Structure 1
């Protein structure tokens, strides 16, 4: 009897998973609908020398405020870097993507 119950539970889970996965694909994108285009734009800007690499921006922030990056991306002409400080606060840094200058945050 226990074996049958395990098989039924496993079958129910297997049937539910594909539906859940497709529902997640149709749901809202937490990164925003145009995140891939932003990523491509940033990559092209860095390769052409027009934009400062995001990795350099993150290193600069880390030297200034101990912590870790939560999220980062290009928004217009600026990078937005969401940062978790070592003491648990969250800071949103706005950084000029062309110069690397921190415009706000911290």
Structure 2
């Protein structure tokens, strides 16, 4: 059931993106610098693209910035989780070692009962 809901949501998103692309096909010129700075620098690189590409690129850049921001924010939690995993692994080895020492001098049947 959830799979169909996901496919439906993906289809709606695809239709919205296609609709935006079809409705915004006009060419737009993007300039690197404002006019005042371009006159001072004597350079102003520009590119002409369809508007929907600029909109989709803006969405993509926003998503990438959000993912990187979240990844950096969660770094301390990942470090703490790794530390806890190492502690748990060390404690497991210690418990196994102590159980082995406890049953060394015992009968095999009694060792199984522990």
TM-score normalised according to structure 2 size: 0.33
TM-score normalised according to structure 1 size: 0.35
Q: Which has the higher helix share?
A: 2
Rg larger in structure = 2
